[in-house]
């Protein structure tokens, strides 16, 4: 199976929700701001505009947009790593 990459948008959220078998990420005000993706690094939030990648082994990772990476700051672990051992 080849790597499959999909960018999360408001329009494809229901489709990607099913694809990753994940959960919606809810904000305190009750709005959905992305998806909770289960990765080798743990549960990672994919915000709108981020790319969700399913590798050839069926594992997921999130590649954040530059804007999201800037918000996360340098103290946040790199969740885009494949995490292969």
Predicted confidence (pLDDT) per residue in 61-76, tens digit = 999 887 766 666 654 4
Using the predicted structure, report yes or no on whether residue 82 has a pLDDT greater than 60: no
Residues 6+ apart with CB under 8 A from 81: 41, 61
| pLDDT for position 66 | 75
**Sign, Cα dihedral of 33, 2, 19, 9:** positive
Residue 39's Cβ-count burial label (10 Å; 0-12, 13-18, 19+) is buried
Query: What is the per-residue pLDDT across 18-48, written as a single tens digit (0 to 9) for each?
Result: 999 888 988 899 999 999 999 998 999 999 9
Map out the domains of the chain as residue ranges: 4-72
């Amino acid at each position: 199976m080849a790597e499959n990459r999909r960018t999360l948008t408001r329009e494809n959220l229901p489709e990607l929700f099913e694809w990753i078998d994940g959960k919606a990420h809810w904000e305190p005000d009750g709005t959905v701001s992305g998806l909770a993706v289960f990765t080798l690094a743990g549960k990672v939030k994919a915000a709108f505009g981020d790319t969700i990648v399913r590798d050839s082994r069926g594992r997921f990772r999130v590649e954040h947009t530059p804007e999201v990476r800037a918000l996360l700051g340098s103290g946040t672990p790199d969740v885009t790593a494949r995490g292969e051992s």
